[in-house]
Amino acid sequence: MTDPVSRCGYVAIVGRPNVGKSTLLNHILGQKLAITSRKPQTTRHTLLGIKTEGDVQAVYVDTPGIHKENQKALNRYMNKTASAALKDVDVVIFVVDRMRWTEEDAFVLERVRHVKCPVIVAVNKTDRMEDKAELLPQLKWLSEQLPEAEVIPISAQNGVNLDSLEKLVADRLPEGDHFFPEDQLTDRSSRFLAAELVREKIMRQLGAELPYQVTVEIEEFKQQGNVLHIHALILVERDGQKKILIGNAGERIKRIGQDARKDMEALFDSKVMLNLWVKVKSGWSDDERALRSLGYADL
């Protein structure tokens, strides 16, 4: 009897903004790691989500949505980050919406056409369709666009068909030893994940009111006894944005802190004392030097 073959490799999850990439990663991992909101471009950095099951270790790379708007340094950073992820992976999952195809999808498709590794097209949100036969023309069209790719309907939100998607991924991973310990979930630090959770709550609560010029920096992250003390600085670009974020008598910033703290306690398995401050730093999102200092590397 032969021993099972060990497989390991990197899997890039790509697509236009707000198509469900981070939700897909969270459901595959079985826990919340990547932040999500209904606002496009919530994801700004690549994030590794590591799933080890038996002899298979899939290292998923959640990427920012690839988009055509490139005016600001932050947008250029996100596009560059997502495109770089396509170069060094073993499998690509290209996530598209079940019925909506945009210019940005076409933009991503052109990049995916040139990758050297196997591609899987995951057609998302298919559980919302009453008549599944309506999907057939789109599945056929996608197969024609990427003849070598496997096309699979899924629902990232409700976990539909994700077992089949993971099986397709596992079959395409190269043989080799695992890169990470089997209990490791991500390559990112706890400080990074804490900052992202605060940013998620801001984006969820202030979707239409606050533009993208907001970022979060963790200034203190310290375990004392059974309490984790986290001090987070929220940077905005204008005084008006600061007022919106703090809210009437500090109500909004308080709610953001409460929601973020709940998720942090679940993620870090510890009681959390979270303190938030808001500061104006004019023009940070279009200042490459400022972006580097805030952790947006490789600009």
The reply, when asked if residue 36 is annotated as ligand binding, is: no
**Distance from C-alpha of 195 to C-alpha of 102, rounded to nearest angstrom:** 31
The reply, when asked if residue 125 is annotated as ligand binding, is: yes
The reply, when asked if residue 161 is annotated as ligand binding, is: no
The reply, when asked if residue 176 is annotated as ligand binding, is: no
The reply, when asked if residue 15 is annotated as ligand binding, is: yes
The reply, when asked if residue 124 is annotated as ligand binding, is: yes
Question: Do residues 124 and 20 touch, judged by C-beta distance below 8 A?
Answer: yes
The reply, when asked if residue 18 is annotated as ligand binding, is: yes
The reply, when asked if residue 127 is annotated as ligand binding, is: yes
The reply, when asked if residue 49 is annotated as ligand binding, is: no
The reply, when asked if residue 51 is annotated as ligand binding, is: no
The reply, when asked if residue 66 is annotated as ligand binding, is: yes
The reply, when asked if residue 147 is annotated as ligand binding, is: no
Question: Do residues 17 and 67 touch, judged by C-beta distance below 8 A?
Answer: yes
The reply, when asked if residue 137 is annotated as ligand binding, is: no
The reply, when asked if residue 248 is annotated as ligand binding, is: no
The reply, when asked if residue 126 is annotated as ligand binding, is: yes
The reply, when asked if residue 207 is annotated as ligand binding, is: no
Cα torsion angle, 292, 295, 296, 299, sign:
positive
The reply, when asked if residue 65 is annotated as ligand binding, is: yes
Binding site members for GTP: 15-22, 62-66, 124-127
Binding site members: 15-22, 62-66, 124-127
